[in-house]
C-alpha cells in the first residue's frame, strides 16, 4: 500500500483527471427510467479525495449535491449489520450476481434470497430489516441521521421529488419486493419496505460529503479525525470486500480489474471508492455505461488509482 508521503501529488492528480474528464464527449447516458434523474446535466463532473490524515482535495463540481442512489446501500448495509449482525446473512447472500441491478431471475432459483446487499432486491430486504419496530418515516429518519453523522454534516437531505419519481415508475422494484414477500423474505408489507428504499436512494450528497462519509471504511471502521468508531475493523473489511465483489453489479469484475479498489456505484452517476489505509474517494459524472455505472466516474477512478499507485493488490 502506498505511503502517505506520496500525497503531495494527489492534488495535481485530481486536477488533471478532472480537466481530462471535462474534455470528453463520450459521457455515457443519464438514467431516464427514474424521470427526475433524466433531468440532470450530463456535463457535470466532480471528484473528492479525503485522506486518512485529514486532507480534503476537490476538483470539478465536487460541492454540488447529486442523487446518491445505490451508493446509499453501503450505509444501509452498515446500519442493518449493526442492528442484527450476522443474522442478516440468512436473508441476503454475499456473492456477486453477474446480473443487472434490478434483475429478478435469480430470485426464483434461490427462494427469494437476494444474491447480495447491493442489488436492488438485497437492498429492499435491508430496508425491511431497518423497518423492524419502526414506522417507515422513523426508519428513513434513522438512515438520514446516520449519513449526516458519517459526513459530519446535518445539511444533507432527501430529495422528495426523486423519491416520488422513483415510486411512480418503480414497477420492477415492486415486482422484486412482492416476489420476495411471497417467499417470506420480507417481514413488512412490500409498500412499506419500498418506501424506505426509495427514500434512502434519494439522499442528495456532494462528492465532498460522500467521501467524508466513507472515511470509516478507509480506516478500519473508525473516522480517523473524530476518532468515532462506526464499525469493528473486521466489519469494515467485510463491507469493503462486498463493495469490491458486488459494488458495480454485473460490472464488478471489470471495476476490480481496472481500478483495483472497493467501490460502490449508483445510477445517479456517483461512485464511492475506498483505498484502505489511505483515503476515501467520491466521484460523480451522471452519464452511465452499459452496466448502469458512471462511465466517466469509473474511468476517472481508474486513472487516479494508476497515477497514485493505489490498489488493494499493490505490494
Active-site annotation holds for 197 = yes
142 labelled as ligand-binding? Answer: no
120 labelled as ligand-binding? Answer: yes
Task: State the residue number with the nearest CB to ligand GLN.
Answer: 70
Q: Restricting to residues 280-299, which ones interact with ligand GLN according to CB under 6 A?
A: 292
Name the residue nearer to ligand GLN (CB basis): 77 or 267: 267
Name the residue nearer to ligand GLN (CB basis): 70 or 76: 70
Name the residue nearer to ligand GLN (CB basis): 224 or 287: 287
Active-site annotation holds for 298 = no
Active-site annotation holds for 249 = yes
- 21 near 60, Cβ under 8 Å? yes
HEC string of the chain equals: CCCHHHCHHHHHHHHHHHHHHHHCCCCCECCCCCCCHHHCCCCCCEEEEEECCCCEEEEECCCCCEECHHHHHHHHHHHHHHHHHHHHHHCCCCCCCCCCCCCCHHHHHCCCCCCCCCCHHHHHHHHHHHHCCCCHHHHHHHHHHHHHHHHCCCCCEECHHHHHHHHHHCHHHHHHHHHHHHCCCCCCCHHHHHHHHHHHHCEEECHHHHHHHCHHHHCCCECCCCCCECCCHHHHHHHHHHHHHHCCHHHHHHHHHHCCCCEEECCCCEEEEEECCCEEEEEECCCECCCCCEHHHHHHHHHHHHHHCCCCCCC
Among 76, 97, 127, 173, binds ligand GLN (CB under 6 A): 173
Asked if residue 266 binds ligand GLN (CB under 6 A), the reply is yes
Name the residue nearer to ligand GLN (CB basis): 262 or 276: 262
Among 36, 51, 52, 70, binds ligand GLN (CB under 6 A): 70
**Rounded to the nearest whole angstrom, what is the least distance from the CB of residue 148 to ligand GLN in the complex?**
20
Name the residue nearer to ligand GLN (CB basis): 32 or 233: 32
Asked if residue 102 binds ligand GLN (CB under 6 A), the reply is yes
Asked if residue 247 binds ligand GLN (CB under 6 A), the reply is no
Active-site annotation holds for 232 = no
Active-site annotation holds for 267 = yes
> 283 has which bridge partners?
47, 271
Question: Can you tell me the distance from the alpha carbon of 304 to that of 315, in angstroms, rounded to the nearest whole number?
Answer: 18
Q: Restricting to residues 185-204, which ones interact with ligand GLN according to CB under 6 A?
A: 201
**Rounded to the nearest whole angstrom, what is the least distance from the CB of residue 309 to ligand GLN in the complex?**
30
Residue set of the binding site for substrate:
70, 120, 166, 173, 197, 249, 267
Residue set of the binding site:
70, 120, 166, 173, 197, 249, 267
Catalytic annotation, residues: 70, 73, 197, 249, 267
Contact residues: ligand GLN, CB under 6 A: 69-70, 101-102, 120, 166, 173, 201, 266-267, 292
Amino acid at each position: 500500500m502506498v505511503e502517505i508521503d506520496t500525497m503531495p501529488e494527489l492534488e495535481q492528480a485530481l486536477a488533471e483527471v478532472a480537466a481530462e474528464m471535462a474534455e470528453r464527449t463520450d459521457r455515457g447516458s443519464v438514467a431516464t427510467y427514474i424521470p427526475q434523474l433524466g433531468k440532470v446535466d450530463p456535463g457535470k463532473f466532480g471528484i473528492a479525495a479525503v485522506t486518512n490524515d485529514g486532507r480534503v482535495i476537490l476538483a470539478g463540481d465536487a460541492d454540488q449535491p447529486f442523487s446518491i442512489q445505490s451508493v446509499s446501500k453501503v450505509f444501509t448495509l452498515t446500519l442493518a449489520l449493526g442492528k442484527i449482525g450476522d443474522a442478516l446473512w440468512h436473508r441476503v447472500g454475499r456473492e456477486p450476481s453477474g446480473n443487472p441491478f434490478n434483475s429478478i431471475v435469480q430470485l426464483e432459483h434461490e427462494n427469494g434470497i437476494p444474491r447480495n446487499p447491493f442489488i436492488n432486491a438485497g437492498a429492499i430486504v435491508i430496508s425491511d430489516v431497518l423497518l423492524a419496530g419502526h414506522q417507515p418515516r422513523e426508519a428513513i429518519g434513522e438512515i438520514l441521521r446516520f449519513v449526516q453523522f458519517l459526513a459530519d454534516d446535518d445539511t444533507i437531505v432527501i430529495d422528495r421529488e426523486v423519491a416520488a419519481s422513483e415510486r411512480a415508475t418503480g414497477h420492477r422494484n415492486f415486482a422484486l419486493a412482492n416476489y420476495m414477500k411471497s417467499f417470506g423474505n420480507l417481514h413488512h408489507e412490500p409498500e412499506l419496505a419500498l418506501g424506505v428504499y426509495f427514500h434512502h436512494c434519494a439522499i442528495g450528497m456532494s462528492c465532498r460529503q460522500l467521501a467524508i462519509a466513507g472515511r470509516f471504511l478507509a480506516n478500519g471502521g473508525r473516522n480517523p479525525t473524530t476518532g468515532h468508531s462506526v464499525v469493528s475493523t473486521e466489519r469494515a473489511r467485510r463491507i469493503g470486500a462486498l463493495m469490491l465483489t458486488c459494488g458495480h453489479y454485473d460490472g464488478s469484475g471489470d471495476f476490480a480489474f481496472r481500478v483495483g479498489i472497493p467501490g460502490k456505484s449508483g445510477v445517479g452517476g456517483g461512485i464511492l471508492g475506498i483505498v484502505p489505509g489511505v483515503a476515501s474517494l467520491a466521484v460523480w459524472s451522471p452519464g452511465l455505461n452499459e452496466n448502469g455505472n458512471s462511465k466517466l466516474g469509473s474511468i476517472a477512478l481508474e486513472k487516479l488509482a494508476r497515477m497514485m499507485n493505489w490498489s488493494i493488490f499493490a505490494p
